[in-house]
Amino acid sequence: MRRRDFIRIAALTALMPAAVAGAGRAQAEGVDVNAILRDPAAPNSGNPDGDVTIVAFLDYNCPYCKKSAPDLARVVKEDGHIRLIYKDWPVLTEASVYGAQLALAATYQGRYETVHDALMAIPGRRIDEQTMLKAVAASGVDLDRLMADLKAHIADIGGLLKRNAAQADSLGLSGTPTYLVGPLLASTLDYASFKRAVAEARRRQTAGE
């Protein structure tokens, strides 16, 4: 997959809450705005009333996702006015699917970010299922409950992953990581780039662009 280390301005201004008036155009182009921003099953963090929304499409075997993850978390925490939505999009390996399932199963005990952070902290690529499970077990979650929740909710988890994949397809995304930062489409961002993207998103939303 081709990696991009720059912010690419995209025709996605209808995706963010400040531009809901443009949602009709996005719908006509096959983008379900509400599904991307308001899926109740999608894990989220940050400020639920934030003025900028970041939607992160990620894979736990993606080294670029892992590199960006600490900077994204730092920007969200420091800014205080960002709503972050996680879109698990396991496209690289079969083990990526297992990692996403583990993370999403942790939502049933309110520990999605704990597992997410543990999986993102595993160095390297093509991480196998056993290595992922070991990292999750060491994260402090109730592993027995997580595995029980995974079994009990596997259909719902699978449904969410399918919706995420459909949303990525509707946006024409080509790989992970991809971030929707307000009306901007970006990937492989570092701390400074995230800050610039958030500032530009605020500027555009204020200007109604």
* Residue 63's CATH number: 3.40.30.10
What's the token pair of residue 144? 């027995």
In a domain, residue 10? The reply is no
How many CB atoms are located within 10 Å of the residue 166 CB?
13
In a domain, residue 54? The reply is yes
**pLDDT number for residue 206:** 85
pLDDT category of residue 8 using cuts at 50, 70 and 90: very low
Residue 110, by phi and psi: left (phi above 0), alpha (psi -120 to 50) or beta?
Answer: left
In a domain, residue 185? The reply is yes
In a domain, residue 18? The reply is no
Question: Is there a contact between 39 and 166 (Cβ–Cβ < 8 Å)?
Answer: no
Q: Which residues pair with 58 in a beta bridge?
A: 88
In a domain, residue 177? The reply is yes
Using one digit for the tens of pLDDT, what is the confidence trace for 23-55?
Answer: 333 443 567 888 899 999 999 999 999 999 999
Task: Please provide the size of the chain in residues.
Answer: 209
Task: State which amino acid sits at residue 91.
Answer: V
In a domain, residue 31? The reply is no
What's the token pair of residue 156? 């719902």
For residues 29 and 146, what is the distance between their CA atoms, to the nearest angstrom? 38
**pLDDT number for residue 13:** 38
Domain that holds residue 198: 41-207
Task: Provide the domain count of the chain.
Answer: 1
pTM listed for this prediction? 0.86
Using one digit for the tens of pLDDT, what is the confidence trace for 102-157?
Answer: 999 999 999 999 999 999 999 998 999 999 999 999 999 999 999 999 999 999 99
For residues 114 and 147, what is the distance between their CA atoms, to the nearest angstrom? 15
For the chain, report the end-to-end CA distance as a whole number of angstroms.
31
In a domain, residue 107? The reply is yes
**pLDDT number for residue 41:** 97
In a domain, residue 34? The reply is no
* Extended beta strands in 112-206, E state: 178-181, 184-186
How many CB atoms are located within 10 Å of the residue 52 CB?
26
Strand order in the sheet with 52-58: 7-9, 184-186, 178-181, 52-58, 82-88, 44-46
**pLDDT number for residue 30:** 65
Using one digit for the tens of pLDDT, what is the confidence trace for 182-202?
Answer: 989 988 899 999 999 999 999
CA 128 vs CA 10, 38, 66: distances in Å: 35, 32, 16
